[in-house]
Amino acid sequence: MARERKFSNEELFQTVKKMLLQHGYEGFHFGLLAEQLDISRGALYKYYENKDELITDFMLYEMQIFIGDLAQIENQGDFEAQFDFLMKLIFDKAEVHQLITVVKQMGSSSNEKAKENKEQLEKLPLEMYRYLQNFISFGKREGKLKEHIPDSVILGLIFQSIAIPNHFGLPKGVWVNSIKEIISKGMFAHS
Amino acid sequence: MARERKFSNEELFQTVKKMLLQHGYEGFHFGLLAEQLDISRGALYKYYENKDELITDFMLYEMQIFIGDLAQIENQGDFEAQFDFLMKLIFDKAEVHQLITVVKQMGSSSNEKAKENKEQLEKLPLEMYRYLQNFISFGKREGKLKEHIPDSVILGLIFQSIAIPNHFGLPKGVWVNSIKEIISKGMFAHS
DNA sequence: ATTTAAAGTAACACTTGTGTCACTATAAAA
DNA sequence: TTTTATAGTGACACAAGTGTTACTTTAAAT
């Protein structure tokens, strides 16, 4: 009944991700995207009214995958296993984190659908927080995590650790293990 | 011999900083800047040929101040004092860190002066590294820092810690001390 | 008071991105 | 094979940023 599409949703979102990481929110535009997908700019308007609607839609997709993965933390057994799982997840999905800054750069957008998407997006951190809160409570309850450090600092530091630049190109294993060691036991030698 | 300027260099750079943090590299432009400074756009071209020349010039100014402050680390006495000094400096100058990402977004710019500035900028991390390398060597030599953790991970984690978002608005003292504790002694309770 | 050098302005031509629309292309249903 | 619904195109009018230039303003030197 209809003509075949020249690009899949999967292709579209992958290209959007690449473009956003490369050019940031303000440098991202339909011309660039259309060129990468080898279609005309006009074709994109068949699916999205504007940039913000497309970006929020993409972010929703990306975040839902991330949360789906995160949900698996509950099946990981003891606290150490959960900690390892979380660190692995974060390092495997390093880009998700940089993408979050993109949403913050969006103004109050013109389009209705984009606003809806944005509202949806704002709910997701709460959903994430549920899993992470459980993880931390579990750790504290078991006496594995220091009681007196605020949960938000623990979470913040874990999440931020993915953004540390590996300038000297250390092998990933060494890299991740070093970061895990500092976060869990500190960089100071035992006195 | 000449007319009075409507804006000082100090004012200019402060506004550039604000605009860059607010809009990012690609969203920053002369029109915006001129409006903020309450001058015409054309006036800016009396001083800078284009955006990249202005931004690199600003970054050079900003980084040189930071390095000047950092140099004081050598007068801080023992290792713990140096660590405290470094953490305080980093938290007081949190913006400098976000600004570094701006330089990475610049393409190979059109203008000669901008290229020169960029080359200068690329030399600065090495100058910073000298101070930080000394700090870490000192710490390891004194047996205060773990020998087996690569220097680049230690530095990376310290610098990255400033970007942790204080979503829940913890008081700055609690906030910084918590982060310092994790970095130095870890978030795991002593077994 | 006149001159002068630098500061600032405003308009122009140019470039790049936006959103729309009449149009063509194509795969499947009838 | 004709119809039809959807995919995709290309051109148009518009909006926003760039870089230049002829012009005006102003404070200090003569």
> What CATH class is the domain A48-185?
mainly alpha
Q: Which residues in B lie closer than 8 A to residue A167 (C-beta atoms)?
A: 152, 156
The CA distances from residue B125 to A151, B64, B156, in Å, are: 33, 11, 13
Amino acid found at B186: G
Q: Round to whole Å and give the CA distance between B170 and A152.
A: 9
Q: Which residues in A lie closer than 8 A to residue B27 (C-beta atoms)?
A: 25-26, 105
Q: Round to whole Å and give the CA distance between B161 and B172.
A: 14
Q: Mean pLDDT in chain B?
A: 93
Give the domain ranges of chain B.
Answer: 1-47, 52-185
Contact between A57 and A117 (Cβ < 8 Å): yes
Amino acid found at A153: V
Burial grade of A22 (CB within 10 A; 0-12, 13-18, 19 or more): exposed
Work out the minimum CA distance from A1 to partner chain B, whole angstroms. Answer: 43
Model confidence pLDDT, tens digit, residues B28-63: 999 999 999 999 999 999 999 999 999 999 999 999
Are the beta carbons of B25 and A27 separated by less than 8 Å? yes
Ordered per-residue pLDDT tens for chain A, 191 residues: 679 999 999 999 999 999 999 999 999 999 999 999 999 999 999 999 999 999 999 999 999 999 999 999 999 999 999 999 999 999 999 888 888 888 877 877 668 899 999 999 999 989 998 999 999 999 999 999 999 999 999 999 998 998 888 888 999 999 999 999 999 999 999 85
Q: Nearest nucleotide by C1' from A31 CA?
A: C17
Q: Tell me how long chain A is.
A: 191
Q: What is the Rg, in whole angstroms, of the alpha carbon atoms belonging to chain B? A: 20
> What CATH class is the domain B1-47?
mainly alpha
- In this complex, the residue of A147, A150, A182 whose CB is nearest that of residue B149 is A182
Residue B76 pLDDT > 90, yes or no? yes
Question: What CATH number labels B52-185?
Answer: 1.10.357
pLDDT at B190: 84
DSSP conformation class of B28: -
pLDDT at A108: 74
Model confidence pLDDT, tens digit, residues A19-75: 999 999 999 999 999 999 999 999 999 999 999 999 999 999 999 999 999 999 999
CA-nearest of A149, A120, A17, A118 to B186 is: A149
- Report the alpha-carbon angle A65-A68-A72, nearest 5: 140
CA-nearest of A82, A177, A69 to A136 is: A82
pLDDT at A191: 59
Q: Round to whole Å and give the CA distance between A101 and A96.
A: 9
